A and B are shown apart, each in its own frame.
Chain A
Amino acid sequence: GENVEQHPSTLSVQEGDSAVIKCTYSDSASNYFPWYKQELGKGPQLIIDIRSNVGEKKDQRIAVTLNKTAKHFSLHITETQPEDSAVYFCAASIGGGSTLGRLYFGRGTQLTVWP
């Protein structure tokens, strides 16, 4: 099956700085890559996703880049705020038919933004 690796496991930044989280995947058939933010006691919340026919996607302070050749994708958060502090998970999935739902998650990154 798919293997997703995520780095770093912890990340501390000063408010206003940028944060970058990187993931790699093993299965070249994977074509859907969502990012989830999980706060304590809550479920993962989808913050952005990208499909393999796109190299970059932005949504305000959040951007995701995808390099299919190298099989890696990254989350970029600019102008970080204390409320961005949470665990972030990357995931990969093979789209099409009924198999999109099997998301393979990375191990997560604990992001702490200091005021």
Chain B
Amino acid sequence: AAGVIQSPRHLIKEKRETATLKCYPIPRHDTVYWYQQGPGQDPQFLISFYEKMQSDKGSIPDRFSAQQFSDYHSELNMSSLELGDSALYFCASSKRSNSPLHFGNGTRLTVT
């Protein structure tokens, strides 16, 4: 079965640079969520989109923005990167906002 696809799998950036993470949801899933997971931590909710509109917002820094496109893929844009942004970033999708979330394998971002 098709899963959530995230790219890139690994990304290394320097402080103050920008990064763009991409997420391709499971086909026919209309809702996308972004989570951040620090080392040894639980995933923390950042933001979600339903039918291309932002549906919920969590602890996402103002330096980050995201959007969902007409083909339902989503991008997380991160600017002015800080060392503390180093983490695993997961995207998850669901068919509608009241069904189980399925996660991708994440993008490991390292800020040096």
Interface status of A105 (Cβ within 8 A of chain B): yes
Contact indicator A46/B101 (Cβ below 8 Å) = yes
Contact with A along B26-53 (1 / 0, CB 8 A): 0000010100000001111100101000
Interface status of A52 (Cβ within 8 A of chain B): no
- Contact residues, A61-115 vs B (CB, 8 A): 89, 95-108
Majority secondary structure, A binding face: loop
**Which chain A residue has the least Cβ–Cβ distance from B4?**
A43
Contact indicator A43/B103 (Cβ below 8 Å) = yes
Determine the chain A residues whose CB is within 8 A of the CB of B105 once the complex forms. Answer: 41-43
Output the least CB separation between B60 and chain A (Å): 12
Contact indicator B103/A45 (Cβ below 8 Å) = yes
Contact with B along A29-59 (1 / 0, CB 8 A): 0000010100001111110010000000000
Contact indicator B48/A101 (Cβ below 8 Å) = yes
How many interface residues does B have (CB within 8 Å)? 26
Interface status of B100 (Cβ within 8 A of chain A): yes
Determine the chain B residues whose CB is within 8 A of the CB of A99 once the complex forms. Answer: 55-56, 97
In the bound complex, how far is the Cα of B98 from the Cα of A96, in angstroms?
A: 6
Contact indicator A102/B97 (Cβ below 8 Å) = no
**Which chain B residue has the least Cβ–Cβ distance from A90?**
B42
Determine the chain B residues whose CB is within 8 A of the CB of A107 once the complex forms. Answer: 41-42
Contact indicator A102/B100 (Cβ below 8 Å) = no
In the bound complex, how far is the Cα of B102 from the Cα of A44, in angstroms?
A: 8
**Which chain A residue has the least Cβ–Cβ distance from B9?**
A41
Give the interface of A toward B (CB within 8 A): 34, 36, 41-46, 49, 89, 95-108
* Pairs of residues from A and B, 4 with the lowest C-beta to C-beta distance, nearest first: A43-B103, A105-B42, A98-B55, A101-B48
